[in-house]
Amino acid sequence: MKQAYIVKGYRTAIGKAPKGVFRFKRTDELAAETIQYMMNELPDFDKKRIDDVIVGNAMPEGAQGLNMARLISLMGLKIEEVPGVTVNRFCSSGLETIAMAVAKIQSGMAECIIAGGAESMSSVPMTGYKPELNYNTIASGHEDYYWGMGNTAEAVANEFKISRADQDEFALQSHLKALRAQAENRFQNQIVPIEVEQTYINENGKKATKKYTVIKDEGPRKDTSLEGLASLRAVFAANGSVTAGNSSQMSDGAAFVLIMSEVMVKELNLTPIARLVSYAAAGVPPRIMGIGPVAAIPKALKQAGLQKKDIELIELNEAFASQSLAVIRELGLDPNIINVNGGAIALGHPLGCTGGKLSVQLFDEMRQRNMQNKYGLVTMCVGTGQGAAGIFEFLN
């Protein structure tokens, strides 16, 4: 089997949806500009040698429809020879694409692929434009197949006895860690500067336009406090514990990696960043979808021939504090190595982008910690009762 290596990886800053810094920026533009920035680091590389652009997206309709990946390839690479395919496994889409790319290269079906994800929750709402439920399925007693994510978070909190106080404390720590990471510039080498144009009415009542560059995640809030979090009402159940404050933020963003075969890496004299050691997806009851990583992580560890103690750093998507805490407790994970720079509660969760974003963050943090030849984990729950987990070996 051939070896596949990740040689580049970048992400945009993450904007809040639907009224954040990227509200007027199309998803395909965010993604194309990220890819363009990444490929500009290899000015002599013949982009026609890229076999595919694989883009994860959770809501591939509206502005994200028409096989957005192909449009991103055309816009980002500025050539017509590279195809593109859009992939949807909801919240794990961006990680799924990396696994697909690696598998294709390992099998000999490709030599070079761009993979990752992009999502604008400002452009396309959480459930899409016209969701159609199968009422025969609902009538047969499976209404939980269509439960909203907040309802599943409440179910996890109840079943795994996750208190409101613990959820709020977890949310606070997410913001504090993210704010510290920003103050220490721990994200600066992974974020692509994105220029945004905004139209507004000036003091003379005239339409005007201003441009600015976005280089900082918008989500972390300095005014977050336990008192403030405790004052928020539950939004999914009358006597519930899941609030807007201990849930992930709706977001906009893009993240991509460049993956090459070992032969190509050596030919171009490039230094690999990381390699994907294993990837697993798993199914769990849809009503408690948040525990998905509890099923996926052991599969990924077994596939890699590793144990929990071998993992040095973890990026666990914080869809909700309740499910994050349930995963940590059920698997006995070390909280000190999880989301060391904050998670989705503070930084945001741009659905199909998240898997790529967390991977890029993992590689960069392992670089800053000099974790050569150590293992890191990216994992998340996935809507309708799934989990996904990818184990990476950081190389350089």
Rounded distance, CA 117 to CA 31, Å? 8
Residue pLDDT, tens place only, 324-346 = 999 999 999 999 999 999 999 99
Q: Quote the pLDDT of residue 207.
A: 87
Catalytic residue among 91, 112, 175, 353: 91
Q: Quote the pLDDT of residue 290.
A: 98
For the domain bounded by 4-127+249-391, which CATH number is listed? 3.40.47.10
Q: Quote the pLDDT of residue 13.
A: 99
Q: Quote the pLDDT of residue 128.
A: 86
Helices (H), 23-163: 27-39, 68-77, 93-107, 135-139, 149-159
Q: Quote the pLDDT of residue 129.
A: 87
Closest among 77, 85, 82 to 56, alpha carbons compared: 85
| Residue 41 contacts residue 213 (beta carbons within 8 Å) | no
Residue pLDDT, tens place only, 108-154 = 999 999 999 999 999 998 888 888 889 898 888 888 898 999 999 99
The torsion angle over the Cα atoms of residues 305, 311, 316 and 321, rounded to 10 degrees, is 110
Q: Quote the pLDDT of residue 130.
A: 84
Q: Quote the pLDDT of residue 200.
A: 82
Give φ, ψ of 219 to 5 degrees: -75, -40
Closest among 366, 343, 315, 358 to 98, alpha carbons compared: 358
Q: Does the annotation mark 91 as catalytic?
A: yes
The dihedral of CA 305, 308, 309, 312: what is its sign? Answer: positive
Rounded distance, CA 180 to CA 213, Å? 22
Q: Quote the pLDDT of residue 101.
A: 99
Helices (H), 125-256: 135-139, 149-159, 164-183, 226-230
Closest among 131, 114, 15 to 62, alpha carbons compared: 131
Q: Quote the pLDDT of residue 11.
A: 99
Could you read off the pLDDT tens digit of each residue along the chain, which spans 396 residues?
899 999 999 999 999 999 999 999 999 999 999 999 999 999 999 999 999 999 999 999 999 999 999 999 999 999 999 999 999 999 999 999 999 999 999 999 999 999 999 999 999 988 888 888 898 988 888 888 989 999 999 999 999 999 999 999 999 999 999 999 999 999 999 999 999 998 888 888 888 888 999 999 999 999 999 999 999 999 999 899 999 999 999 999 999 999 999 999 999 999 999 999 999 999 999 999 999 999 999 999 999 999 999 999 999 999 999 999 999 999 999 999 999 999 999 999 999 999 999 999 999 999 999 999 999 999 999 999 999 999 999 998
Q: Quote the pLDDT of residue 139.
A: 87
Catalytic residue among 112, 175, 349, 353: 349
- CA-based R_g, the chain, Å: 20
The dihedral of CA 269, 38, 349, 97: what is its sign? Answer: negative
Catalytic residue among 112, 175, 353, 381: 381
The Cα-based distances of 321 to 141, 162, 212, 294, 348 in angstroms read 28, 9, 33, 15, 13
